[in-house]
Amino acid sequence: MPVLGPFPRRDLLSMLDAARRSGSSRLVSARTVAAPQTVALPPLPTGQHMLRWVPLAEHPPGAHWDERSYESVAAWICEFHDVLLHSDAGIACVGGQVVEDTLNQTNAAEHHYRHSPEGLVLHPGGAVQQLRGTWLSLLAFNHANYYHWMLDCLGRLAAADSAALAECAGVLVPELRTGFQTAGFALTGLQQSHAVHTVAADAALRVERVVVPWSISCDHRPHPCIRGFFGTLRAAAPACAGPFPPRVYIDRRGGPNRPLVNEDELVTGLAGLGFVPVRLERLSLAEQIALFANAEIVVAPHGAGLANIVFAQPGSRVVELHADFWVNWCFRRLAAVFDLRYDCVVGRQLPGPQPEWINRRSWAISLTHVLGAVEQALAA
């Protein structure tokens, strides 16, 4: 098998700065599609009374429950010329250097590389493929995860204006192994207008020109331009017969991550308020879109399935249930972009020894606190 490299690491902004100072954009260039925006974050109706007293592990870095706004990322497009793309994560090597930003959340075993003192060494599974022309890249890390596929892969198309799409003859995608990946890509319509090249986890490609709409949800600071994009996807989704309940609880009892030990009690308590438990893994993408589009209120433990709030109608209510050891505000910020009424309740990690990996830790939440937040949301 071939060995490529080593490639010294360099971040994208310094590459772009060097290109500007030299007056040459032969290898890398970028243009802004939409400037950053300040997005207001409404106060948490019930959460604000609880969170000031509870120790929390908050994410992303710098986020805090009482913040009143955040500054979104810019929506922008990057172009690479004569680029070596490695793996389905889209690791980019340009001018003998690896773009460090494209290593985000990758790992050596899954993406077939290793670190050396001189730089990154790539281990593709075969010969380097040659692609001529201009290609649009939807390659990104963790694309098999529902949230990352919807927001970081498909969602980046929100930054791809008509000019960018028109100049690309084809699109680069990872292997689409799940129903939501295949269905989501189909909703974009790109396969009708562009050639599609599937990139394996161990593939390496030498591409003449690659257009990369940069993630518009990077660092969990989503740009408001995603609102129009996901509205278009919602409109393109096939109609589903339903009926879909107006009050939905996202049931995570079938998943291994962050087990909520009193979820049975929670489901029973919410049923008294008319909530129907739904396991998203049993629904098609079109059914998930319709479920959230028809819901007046969604209650859910933190998890990838809450990415579906991008399909909810403005004014809908979301009550997110957090574990104190992992309070990620990504969905609060998404809710603000999509004009949803957001609140939260925080549960506690169980006492005693727990796994080091947070996704395997167990927790419990107060049914009284959840019902109180839900009743307040319904009354608002």
Q: How far is it, in rounded angstroms, from Cα 274 to Cα 371?
A: 12
Question: Considering its fold, how many domains does the chain have in total?
Answer: 2
Residue finishing a domain among 191, 223, 255: 223
- Asked if 262 and 156 sit in the same domain, the reply is no
- Predicted confidence at residue 264, as pLDDT, reads 97
In the predicted model, residues of the chain with pLDDT beneath 70 are none
Predicted confidence at residue 102, as pLDDT, reads 95
Residue 119 and residue 8 share a domain: yes
Residue 64 in any domain: the answer is: no
Q: Would you say residue 239 lies in a domain? A: no
Residues 255 and 199 in one domain: no
What confidence score (pLDDT) does residue 20 get? 86
| Pair 137, 212: CB distance under 8 Å | yes
Q: Per the domain annotation, does 347 fall within a domain?
A: yes
CA 198 to chain centre: 20
**Separation between Cα atoms, residue 5 and residue 60, nearest integer Å:** 33
Establish if 61 belongs to a structural domain: no
Cα–Cα distance for residue pair 9/99, rounded to 1 Å: 6
Are β-strands 247-250 and 297-301 bridged in parallel, bridged antiparallel, or unpaired? parallel
Q: Which of 188, 223, 258 is the last residue of a domain?
A: 223
Q: How far apart are CA 209 and CA 85, in angstroms?
A: 11
CA separation for the pair 46, 59 (Å, rounded):
20
- Domain CATH code at residue 339: 3.40.50
Give residue 216's pLDDT: 87
Predicted pLDDT of residue 217: 86
Task: Please give the pLDDT value at position 257.
Answer: 84
Q: C-alpha angle with apex 32: 31 to 36, nearest 5 degrees?
A: 155
In the structure encoding, which two tokens stand for residue 150, read together? 């919807």
Residue 257 shares a structural domain with residue 354: yes
CA-to-CA distance for 153 and 83, rounded, in angstroms? 19
Find the domain containing 20 and state its range: 4-34+73-223
Q: How many residues does the chain have?
A: 380
Contact 371, 300 (CB under 8 A): no
The tokens for 368 are 């009284």
Does residue 10 sit in the same domain as residue 144?
yes
Alpha-carbon distance 369 to 374, whole Å? 9
Q: Which residues, listed in sequence order, are joined to residue 4 by a DSSP beta bridge?
A: 122
**Residue 293 and residue 173 in one domain:** no
Whether 121 and 219 share a structural domain: yes
> How much is the pLDDT for 64?
94
The pLDDT, as a whole number, for residue 178 is 96
Same-domain check for residues 145 and 102: yes
Residue indicated by tokens 């029973």: 268
**Same-domain status, 153 and 26:** yes
Task: For residue 315, tell me if it sits in a domain.
Answer: yes
pLDDT of res. 229 = 97
Among left, alpha and beta (phi > 0; psi -120 to 50; other), residue 223 is beta
Residue 165 and residue 136: Cα distance in Å, rounded? 7
Question: Does some domain include residue 66?
Answer: no
Residue 194 covered by a domain: yes
- Cα gap 159→148, rounded to integer Å: 16
DSSP β-bridge partners for residue 344: 320
pLDDT at 61: 86
Which of 223, 256, 290 marks a domain boundary? 223
Token output for 214? 């940069």
Judge if 14 and 156 occupy the same domain.
Answer: yes
Q: CB of 365 within 8 A of CB of 260?
A: yes
| pLDDT value of residue 315 | 98
d(CA 75, CA 222): 9
- According to DSSP, the residues that pair with 40 across neighbouring strands are 69
Torsion over CA: 346, 352, 357, 361 (sign): negative
Return the pLDDT at 254.
80
Regarding whether 192 and 268 lie in a shared domain, the answer is no
Specify the DSSP element, H or E, that contains 341: strand 341-349
- pLDDT at position 19: 85
Tokens of 76: 């922008």
Look at residue 358 and tell me if it is in a domain: yes
Interatomic CA distance for residues 218 and 305, integer angstroms: 18
Are residues 18 and 162 located together in one domain of the fold?
A: yes
| Residue 256 confidence (pLDDT) | 81
